[in-house]
Amino acid sequence: MKNTISVGLLGLGTVGSGVIEILDDHKESIQHKTGCDVTIKKVLVHDLSKPRQLPAEATQLTDRYQDITEDPEIDVVVEVMGGIDHTLSIVLEAMEHGKHIVTANKDLIAQHGAQLFQTSQRNSCDLYYEASVAGGTPIIRPILDGLSSDRISKMMGIVNGTTNFILDKMTRDGADFDSVLKEAQDLGFAEADPTADVDGLDAARKMAILSILGFSMPFNLEDVSVKGIRGTSLSDIKYAKQLGYSIKLIGIADHNEDGASVSVEPTLLPVEHPLSSVHDEYNAVYVYGDAVGETMFYGPGAGKLPTATAVVSDLIAVIKNFRLGVSGSAYVQPQFPKQLKSRKDQLTKKYIRLHVMDQPGMLMELTKIFAQYGISFDQIIQRQADQNDERELMMITHQVSEEDFDQAYNELEALDTIRSIDSVFRVDGGK
């Protein structure tokens, strides 16, 4: 049995340097838990001329990924460099050479998970990816192991720290979207191109991964309905608060006898709901199990050491499997065929804000359209708009099917007496 496990590290950015730091600082603890030393033998970098601090003299830098994938002494490849197509080819090649894989790459898992897992099984390799969802907040292994005896019916959560920071800052400080986005970029919470975050794509990839694991169905990214936060205004945040809600970008996956649905969208949550208390760049995932009831997993969604902690935890799991002789046996194919709910079977409450002409019978005209599709209301607020001949209405419906709401919405758009439909958000988290 090997006394030393050699690691090839792909990438030496923020997370990669964090992995090195944790392996160095926690060396004795990791040795005690795994029964062997863990050394980083080679690190793939883009620029060899850039000065870097390495964990040991024996660690080699290379700009050729083949130096890692083809090295017979390397047991585990840790991928923290990001990217999709080029990274996919490197990881696949590494597994073909018998390397176990630990990755933090949500894009890779969400888009090519099936191919990666098939390759890992064929080559008896482990493939672990805890850090790909919610950073340093454990959620993958709790679903796979801790809740494996239960039947999960719903998962909802804040899985993107950037958008939570933006909406939280807008709520607490009353700052507009553009100014808070710039602050998030200045602080390093948002990228120079924030599209993946603010348009919900990052969260959608994570929800696709969670849905596969939670419901044991082969979902892909195209199955996730996505709406970002760009259209969320201070007015919506203010009115939501008046109605007893906060606004968060929430990933929601639910499953019942009619099938499953997965979405990412700005959502009104009751202010007393635990997810409403998740602030700044933190993540949290709320899981509903038939037996266990409601559980929540909370923690930092990103950052050098939190994400690196999840990566090294996966590395420890891989080493334990290796020493026990059970490598490559953890993955289980999805049990059920994918069954997506029709929009008729997708039931939810809705918030809608609109400007209408201030004239007698206007509210009755709106109510008639909604009543035609069986839509009733839980709360309604109306106020004088800035224009004297307009009224502004904020309404929260009772539960309604997406199909019925779509039809009512289309009829509202055709009314001459409606000046604008400003916002439509999901409402969730209540009874």
Token pair, residue 403, equals 């199909």
User: How far is Cα 21 from Cα 16, in angstroms, rounded to an integer?
Assistant: 9
In three-state secondary structure terms, 2 is coil
Burial class (CB in 10 A: 0-12, 13-18, 19+), 385: middle
Quick one: angle between helices 304-324 and 27-34, nearest 10? 30
Q: List 270's β-bridge partners, or say none.
A: 245
Catalytic residue, from 41, 99, 106, 206: name it: 206
Dist. CA 66–CA 397, nearest whole Å: 58
Q: Residue 58: is it exposed, middle or buried by C-beta count within 10 angstroms (0-12/13-18/19+)?
A: exposed
206 is an active site residue: yes
Rounded to whole angstroms, how far apart are CA atoms 32 and 320? 11
The continuous run of DSSP H or E covering 405 comes out as helix 402-413
Task: Report d(CA 297, CA 295) in Å as an integer.
Answer: 7
Q: Which positions are annotated as active-site residues?
A: 206
